[in-house]
Structure 1
Amino acid sequence: MYNRGIRGATTVINNEKKEILDETVVLLKEIVDRNQFEPEDISCIWITMTPDLDAIFPALAIREMEGWNMVPLMCAVEAAVQNSLPQCIRLMIQVNTTKSQQEIRHVYLNEAKRLRPDLALSE
């Protein structure tokens, strides 16, 4: 059993509560679908948002999903770097798995595909 990091990112169009929560759920579900793990397999999830997103904590969306209320979650603000991708939500999921690094499928949705085009192509 290994503790692996699974990355994911997505973007929203508007800094609105519903949109941030909805896109966070879409991203997490896609990561789970592609990597086949359960909430019990997770050590923790780090969630970051760019500074232009401040309507709500995206962790709330995960916390409200059935079976996910005991997963340790931490939200933070991404570093404000010039010309970085705006309105972006990122997840780093630390999961216990027997999968190798090469078997892990990272997920980049919406405009976040620009962050890692090499990984977005393998969808």
Structure 2
Amino acid sequence: MIRGIRGATTVTSNSEVEILNRTEELIREMIQENSVEPADIASMIISVTDDINAVFPAKALRGIVGFTFVPVMCAREIPVPGSLHLCIRIMMTVNTTVAPHEVKHIYQYDAISLRPDLKLTN
């Protein structure tokens, strides 16, 4: 069965170091909380708001063992007026046997406001 795991985080500035650190932190929590191995991941889409352009967040995966062959693409979010700024979102598509309600979606920092109806972290 293929399922999507959602995640989002925010940064305080358009800084390469912070973007990479927060992206890696989010990915590590998504895989840990959902017991995902890199080989289980079919693909990942990482999107950013218009105010993030210092680095491709996908670069953060290079520091995680096993992610060499995980297909990843970065994209821009639609700039909806009044939406959350400095936000990184991830859609991780995985092969799993868990039911949809058992998937643990991860929202960190100011991104917690995006989905207050889901179990949240940080």
TM-score (norm 2): 0.96
* Secondary structure in 2 matching 1:66: coil
Q: In structure 1, how many angstroms separate the alpha carbons of the residues matched to 2:39 and 2:83?
A: 34
* Secondary structure in 2 matching 1:119: coil
1:17-96 → structure 2 map (5 Å cutoff): 17-96=16-95
User: Residue in 1 aligned with 2:108?
Assistant: 109
2:8 alignment partner AA: A
- Identity, in percent, stands at 48
User: Residue in 1 aligned with 2:12?
Assistant: 13
CA contact (8 A) 1:113 1:120 kept: no
Structure 1 residue ranges without an equivalent (≥5):
none
Structure 2 residue ranges without an equivalent (≥5):
none
The CA RMSD measured in Å over matched residues stands at: 1.3
Q: In structure 2, how many angstroms separate the alpha carbons of the residues matched to 1:63 and 1:45?
A: 14
Q: In structure 2, how many angstroms separate the alpha carbons of the residues matched to 1:100 and 1:20?
A: 31
1:58 alignment partner AA: P
Change (3 A) 1:96 1:50: same
Q: In structure 2, how many angstroms separate the alpha carbons of the residues matched to 1:75 and 1:102?
A: 27
TM-score (norm 1): 0.95
The number of residue pairs the alignment matches comes to 122
Q: Offset of 1:120 from its aligned partner? A: 3.8
